[in-house]
Amino acid sequence: MSAQPVHIDAPKGKLGVLIPGMGAVATTFMAGVEAIRRHLALPIGSLTQMGTVRLGRRTDKRTPLIKDFVPLAQLDDLVFAGWDLFKDNAYEAALKAGVLERALLDSVKDFLKRLRPMPAVFEQKFVKNLHGENVKKGKNKMDLAERLMDDIQRFKKHNRLSRLIMIWCGSTEIFLKPRPVHHSLAAFEKGLRDNSPDIAPSMIYAYAALKLGVPFANGAPNLTVDIPALLELALQNRVPVCGKDYKTGQTLMKTILAPGLKARLLGLHGWFSTNILGNRDGEVLDDPESFRTKEESKLSVLEYILQPELYPSLYKGFHHKVRINYYPPRGDNKEGWDNLDIFGWLGYPMQIKIDFLCRDSILAAPLVLDLVLFLDLAQRCPEMARKGIQEWLSFYFKSPMCAPHLYPEHDLFIQLMKLKNTLRYLRGEELITHLGLEYYD
Ligand SMILES: NC(=O)c1ccc[n+]([C@@H]2O[C@H](COP(=O)([O-])OP(=O)(O)OC[C@H]3O[C@@H](n4cnc5c(N)ncnc54)[C@H](O)[C@@H]3O)[C@@H](O)[C@H]2O)c1
């Protein structure tokens, strides 16, 4: 032990998981957790369930599972609820999403059928391609926020939950830039009462959560909680927040490959990425204004990893294009192609082609699980909760939130080191620097 462990409350009682948006990702996550609880499948892809953390020297051979090292909630203690503008219960929604096979869904049908979405806070102009009828009405946006708070408190009381977290699995909203109404909590609350057109539904959910001291994770690229007003509320109420946009599929590949190219000082002329996908997410992203939000999130990754300002002869002015094409026959089984024009010794050109036949929600579901468990851990740890933004969870996001004066860290391997060092720090274990000179004394 190098230091005192940081105080973390034990995870006593049940943890409520509140999910705005019960579509492909949310239902794949909830059905998966239940299948795992019934020992029908394994939590593959989840760091909290299958990952380990090395402690001390390499010769110490201390490598516990992360779930045995930090006090996380148990899967059996998770209780779910959500909102959606479609009335389908989670079984029906999962069948429509077409991610999991019917046989698996049928084995947890009783559980999924009980999960009926509460009426959503929704406004057409923010997600143009969706038209649902399970929508709340209120006299203004503050009124809608209060109805969400009622839903949350009812769910907590009814299920005798000791803690809650909220994780956004709803659609990508249109591209928004911070406006004056987002600049302070006072302006935001006035905007809620005055029905400001600049307050998106996802912000109303985040406001309701933070007001009640419920941590919030943003799985979409939406601006949502990444505005001064809601960060002020998070700090005021000492609530952890994190986002944005689950790092899956093509961007995951980018943040695996780009650090490797940079490590070997291989240059990049251009990176062209295109996708076909046919799920509801693809339909939403078919609207140029929602696509713009996604595009911004996907494009920023390479600039930050490759640092053209430090390596102008390798990366200055490289071309980066991202395309998403809605193609219904593929459903959730997306195909992503990448073409990289790279160059090596003496400037000689080479190419790399990637054809990733991935399953979007299969990649996203374990991230949702980890974020739920880690955000709950952060909430039980006053030292972490009072910081608001949880940058150590950057590992999970395409556009990681960080303090306003920092640039985000996108390199998957640095993000993982940061996450594990945070866990070591919390438990009073030595941080691992990989220096390793002591082995040669
Ligand atoms: N691998 C991935 O699948 C992945 C990766 C990164 C980010 N995301 C993001 O996660 C989100 C969910 O993806 P998905 O594939 O499950 O999409 P989906 O379309 O299947 O599900 C989203 C659900 O949200 C609902 N919704 C929209 N606005 C809402 C609101 N205001 N309140 C309540 N419900 C609302 C929709 O009706 C829909 O059922 C999307 O924003 C997507 O961009 C997904």
Residue ranges covered by each domain of the chain: 14-246+362-426, 250-357
Whose tokens are 């274990």? That residue is: 429
Burial group, residue 436, by CB count within 10 angstroms (0-12, 13-18, 19+) = exposed
Judge if the beta carbon of residue 121 lies within 6 A of ligand 1.
Answer: yes
**Mean local confidence (pLDDT), 69-90:** 98
3-state secondary structure of 73: coil
* Per-residue exposure over 257-268, b if at least 16 CB sit within 10 Å of its own CB, e if not: bbbebbeeebbb
Distance 84 CA to ligand 1 centre (A): 10
Backbone phi and psi for residue 78, each to the nearest 5 degrees, phi listed first: -85, 135
Judge if the beta carbon of residue 281 lies within 6 A of ligand 1.
Answer: yes
pLDDT tops 90 at residue 330: no
Region for 235 from its dihedrals, namely left if φ exceeds 0, alpha if ψ lies in -120 to 50, beta otherwise: alpha
pLDDT tops 60 at residue 185: yes
Cβ–Cβ under 8 Å, residues 100 and 28: yes
Judge if the beta carbon of residue 370 lies within 6 A of ligand 1.
Answer: no
pLDDT tops 90 at residue 280: no
- The sheet with strand 216-218 has its strands ordered as 118-119, 78-84, 14-20, 161-168, 216-218, 241-243
What is the number of the ligand 1 atom nearest to the C-alpha of 249? 1
pLDDT tops 80 at residue 1: no
Residue nearest to atom 31 of ligand 1 (CA): 122
Judge if the beta carbon of residue 18 lies within 6 A of ligand 1.
Answer: no
* Residues sharing a CB contact under 8 Å with residue 237, sequence separation 6 or more, in sequence order: 210, 211, 213
The residue whose CB lies within 8 Å of the most ligand 1 atoms, and thus the one to mutate among 116, 151, 171, is: 171
**Between vectors from CA 324 to CA 369 and to CA 133, what angle results, nearest 5°?**
65
CATH number of 250-357: 3.30.360.10
Judge if the beta carbon of residue 171 lies within 6 A of ligand 1.
Answer: yes
Instruction: Give the residue among 316, 332, 333 at the shortest CA–CA distance from 279.
Output: 332
CATH number of 14-246+362-426: 3.40.50.720
pLDDT tops 80 at residue 298: no
Judge if the beta carbon of residue 20 lies within 6 A of ligand 1.
Answer: yes
pLDDT digits (tens, 9 = 90+) for 82-102: 999 999 999 999 999 999 999
**Mean local confidence (pLDDT), 379-399:** 97
